[in-house]
Structure 1
Amino acid sequence: MSVEAPPEDESRPRFRDTVRRLPATVWIVSFGILVVRIGNFLPIFMVLYLTSRNIPPAAAGLVLGAAGLGNVLGNTIGGYLADRIGRRWTITLSMVATAGPTAVIPLFDSLPVLIPLAFLTGMASQIYRPASAALLVDATTTDQQRLAAFAVHRFAMNIGAAVGGVLGGFLATVSYQALFLGNAVACLLFAAIAAVMLRNVTLARAGRGAGPASDAPEPSYRQALADRRLRRFLVMTLIAEFVYIQSTVGLPLHVDAHHMSPADFGLLMGLNGVLVLLLELPITGMVSRRPPGPVLALGNVLTGAGLAMTGLFGDMRWLAATVLLWTLGEMLYASMASAYLGGLAPPSMGGRYQGLYGAAITAGTGVGPVVGGAVYALGEWALWAVCAVGGLVSAWLCLPSRKAAA
């Protein structure tokens, strides 16, 4: 991935003004994301549901693994459909297809049924993601506008996740049937939002979201992967997500090893959530005029360093400082990465580029817990060393390659 620094343009509007002037499409998509994230209980409470049915941890891992594999496949299918049938219908199809399997999960406790059901649900639930991201790119015309759109999108996701966690905990005390029915209802609401509110949207970039032009070569994933910048970006994403997900693997293991309670781990993760909600938009605004490469590199370095330093401390004050460090890396990285990718994609392959990006994210977060747990079992120091090296390698991949500089 190579990024050349654009000339500084002092005439560009302030970031807050860019946010206020975002097209209606951005707000509609972000509202839909807010709704579906509030009701996205399945990934959070699936383990608790499985253990409530007396399913052993090893078997529960098979169910979660099937859902994770479905996530990767769903992103690639979603990228194809977004370019083929359009963004709006891809989102609608994904949400309707997710609602049915999600609603019936509590009716079964047999692994031969739950494993394929989890796979189908995981696949359908991710098909919308490339289409929604591509819509944000379609609706924007400048780099700053695109960055603002993805920042608002992430803010909606984070608000939805925070509210959804609390609401899901309440519904789980009522019944798991209510929990998963609520998830299905949220999916259907997003489908309705996409089908109705996105019906007459005007795209800022002509030719996007309606399939390839008749005189253009047929787009394909092979054609997308011929882009060296995209390949470098995907490798960076895979490594960066692997490192970041160790916050949910190595950190709780470290907390337990130092005889702290699950509540302590919850406080640390709560600190992460509060910081992201309060500071991500302002920080994104601060770096909005900077070239993306160095910003992404710094974000990856801080994430890797913050997680690596976890192994040096055993009390809450210092662990909170490490959380602050890797959360700052997360805030620098997340919206900027999505916006940068949006600028790479040709008009006819916006969905495919986003689909590959989503597949890289889900692959990194899916493999991360398995590999991270195995490395931790060899030695805790080994996991933190892997985080440090991973942060440096992913940062290096954000900077211009020698070929690009030549």
Structure 2
Amino acid sequence: MRALRRWLDDTVGGLPATFWYLWAGLLINRAGAFAMLFLSLYLTEARGASEALTGTVVGAYGLGGAAGVLLGGVLADRWGRRATLLAAHLGTAGLMAALAFSRHLAVIAALAALVGVAHSMPSPAFVAAIVDVVPEQRRSRAFNLQFWAFNLGMAVASLLAGLLAEASFVALFLVDAAATLAAAAVIGWKVPETLTRVRAAGPTERGGRATRQRRVRAPGLHTALTDRTFLVFVGLTFVLAVLTMQTSTIMPLAMRADGLRPSAYGAVVALGGLLIVVGQLFVPRLIDRHRKHHVLAVSTGLLAAGFAALAVADELAVYLAAAVVWTIGQMLAAPPNAQINADLAPPELRARYQSVFYLAFPAASFVAPTLGGVSLQYLGDRHWLIVGGLGLLAAGCHLLTGPARDRRVAALRFAQAPARTPAPVR
């Protein structure tokens, strides 16, 4: 019993109430956010699009997301975290309802791009709000719980979506819109604004003379976009995202080519979510004693092995076994990836760095289906060998670049540490 209490305290203790409301909003959103997972199947089965055209339309979603993360980062610093989250969730709900009743591929592609914008806007605001309210020593646990909630919701969504897709694709989009509205209600009701604003004061009286304080302005995105150490890490995160995006963009097409039904795809995604729900809370104790770049190298290697195994997959059992391998890789990668991102960002540039970091995911959402659809169509199962080779290359790069990241984080912490007053000379 004492061991259980100690584990619970280490895992979930010491986190503020605002974090848990953010966590609840994310969980509700993810539990119903399954429409874009099945967009490729919707286009091929309901709209008769080819694999290459499907990849292009799904890629429009990723292209819109690239603009969305930058917009979300800027708005999170200007409007505030809460306002950005509410605007993005309400916009997503309306766009999903429009997608439910759209029939022309051009309209669907345009709406997919706009959904990409709205879906990606909350990411910098969510993480910036978590960093705003969670003490530094608890952030790794908070990010681990965030990833756990995301995948718990995805597991629920995938089980329901596989059944709904066989009954009605329209229902997919409408349930997604309803879940997004529910998440917006939680955020609007319980999440306060976490951004600390620096107000520009007008003339003030000091000693009988009027003085004017200067407005403090945060630097622009160019600082993050020219930070080489940070950009190398973002590039490796992009490769990680390209690998993980295979499950929602290219793998459904491969399973369809093997004669498997949408419910089989839902089972594979649900298995991954279930493994994360069961095991993710134990990951911090497993990896905390290891250096972050070593953990990322191992996790990326597991992702590479799992997807390379799909080159010989033609039955559901093989897909499920491969999913176990790449899911373990995802579980190990989530906490150090988020923690390194937070550590590399100067406090005054938090949302800007988050927006640049999250560019990796919409960029992967564009590249993975656009190139992957063509690759699968013309290379067949060899596509998965290419994906595996890319993952192994990224694993090696983590080992090479990790020490430089560690030195950069140490330098930032030293610069942020309060200056020590020298002892008086006697």
Give the TM-score, by structure 2 length: 0.78
Q: CA deviation at 1:393?
A: 2.6
Question: Could you tell me which residue of structure 1 aligns to residue 393 of structure 2?
Answer: 392
Question: Could you tell me which residue of structure 1 aligns to residue 58 of structure 2?
Answer: 64
Q: CA deviation at 1:341?
A: 0.6
Given the superposition, is the C-alpha separation of residues 381 and 141 from structure 1 closer, same or farther in structure 2, using an over 3 Å criterion? same
On the 8 A contact 1:135/1:209 being kept in 2, the answer is no
Given the superposition, is the C-alpha separation of residues 98 and 83 from structure 1 closer, same or farther in structure 2, using an over 3 Å criterion? same
1:42 to 14, 35, 46: 35
Q: Distance in 1 between matches of 2:110 and 2:313?
A: 42
Percent of aligned pairs with the same residue?
Answer: 33
Given the superposition, is the C-alpha separation of residues 286 and 211 from structure 1 closer, same or farther in structure 2, using an over 3 Å criterion? farther
Given the superposition, is the C-alpha separation of residues 387 and 48 from structure 1 closer, same or farther in structure 2, using an over 3 Å criterion? closer
Question: Could you tell me which residue of structure 1 aligns to residue 68 of structure 2?
Answer: 74
Q: Distance in 1 between matches of 2:144 and 2:66?
A: 23
Question: Could you tell me which residue of structure 2 aligns to residue 304 of structure 1?
Answer: 304
Q: CA deviation at 1:305?
A: 2.9
Consecutive unaligned residues of structure 1, counting only runs of 5 or more, are: 1-12
Q: CA deviation at 1:217?
A: 5.1
On the 8 A contact 2:70/2:356 being kept in 1, the answer is yes
On the 8 A contact 2:34/2:154 being kept in 1, the answer is no
Please say which structure displays the higher CA radius of gyration. 2
Given the superposition, is the C-alpha separation of residues 236 and 173 from structure 1 closer, same or farther in structure 2, using an over 3 Å criterion? closer
Q: CA deviation at 1:303?
A: 1.6
Q: CA deviation at 1:391?
A: 2.7
Question: Could you tell me which residue of structure 1 aligns to residue 413 of structure 2?
Answer: none
Q: Distance in 2 between matches of 1:382 and 1:60?
A: 17
Q: Distance in 2 between matches of 1:48 and 1:312?
A: 22
Deviation larger for 60-69 or 340-349:
60-69
Q: Secondary structure at the match of 2:96?
A: helix
Given the superposition, is the C-alpha separation of residues 319 and 16 from structure 1 closer, same or farther in structure 2, using an over 3 Å criterion? farther
**Partner amino acid for 2:347?**
P
Given the superposition, is the C-alpha separation of residues 325 and 183 from structure 1 closer, same or farther in structure 2, using an over 3 Å criterion? closer
Question: Could you tell me which residue of structure 2 aligns to residue 231 of structure 1?
Answer: 231
On the 8 A contact 1:87/1:209 being kept in 2, the answer is no
Question: Could you tell me which residue of structure 1 aligns to residue 142 of structure 2?
Answer: 149
On the 8 A contact 1:304/1:392 being kept in 2, the answer is no
**Partner amino acid for 2:188?**
A
Q: Deviations over 1:174-207 (max 9, x none)?
A: 65554433322222222222222112x6x5xxxx
Q: CA deviation at 1:90?
A: 0.6
Question: Could you tell me which residue of structure 1 aligns to residue 293 of structure 2?
Answer: 293
On the 8 A contact 1:250/1:383 being kept in 2, the answer is no
**Partner amino acid for 1:290?**
H
Q: Deviations over 1:281-322 (max 9, x none)?
A: 212332134332221122112222333344467777666554
Q: CA deviation at 1:147?
A: 1.2
Given the superposition, is the C-alpha separation of residues 390 and 20 from structure 1 closer, same or farther in structure 2, using an over 3 Å criterion? same
Q: CA deviation at 1:76?
A: 1.4
1:19 aligns with 2:20: no
Q: CA deviation at 1:335?
A: 2.7
On the 8 A contact 1:37/1:161 being kept in 2, the answer is yes
Q: CA deviation at 1:152?
A: 1.0
Q: Secondary structure at the match of 2:358?
A: helix
Q: Distance in 1 between matches of 2:252 and 2:115?
A: 28
Deviation larger for 268-277 or 350-359:
268-277
Q: Deviations over 1:232-273 (max 9, x none)?
A: 11110111222333455676677678x674576665444323
Given the superposition, is the C-alpha separation of residues 275 and 295 from structure 1 closer, same or farther in structure 2, using an over 3 Å criterion? same
Q: Distance in 2 between matches of 1:139 and 1:79?
A: 17
Q: Distance in 2 between matches of 1:180 and 1:26?
A: 28
On the 8 A contact 1:34/1:160 being kept in 2, the answer is yes
On the 8 A contact 1:72/1:363 being kept in 2, the answer is yes
- Equivalent runs, 1:160-309 vs 2, <5 Å: 160-169=153-162, 175-199=168-192, 210=197, 218-247=218-247, 261-262=260-261, 267-309=267-309
CA RMSD, Structure 1 to Structure 2 (Å) = 3.3
Q: Secondary structure at the match of 2:359?
A: helix
Q: Deviations over 1:62-114 (max 9, x none)?
A: 43232221122111111111122211111011111222222122333133433
Q: Distance in 2 between matches of 1:54 and 1:254?
A: 18
Question: Could you tell me which residue of structure 2 aligns to residue 122 of structure 1?
Answer: 116
1:93 to 65, 84, 87: 87
Q: Distance in 2 between matches of 1:15 and 1:123?
A: 37
**Partner amino acid for 1:158?**
N
On the 8 A contact 1:99/1:184 being kept in 2, the answer is yes
Deviation larger for 169-178 or 110-119:
169-178
Q: Distance in 2 between matches of 1:46 and 1:401?
A: 37
On the 8 A contact 1:34/1:159 being kept in 2, the answer is yes
Question: Could you tell me which residue of structure 2 aligns to residue 105 of structure 1?
Answer: 99
**Partner amino acid for 2:299?**
G
Q: Deviations over 1:350-373 (max 9, x none)?
A: 222221222102212331233234
**Partner amino acid for 1:387?**
G
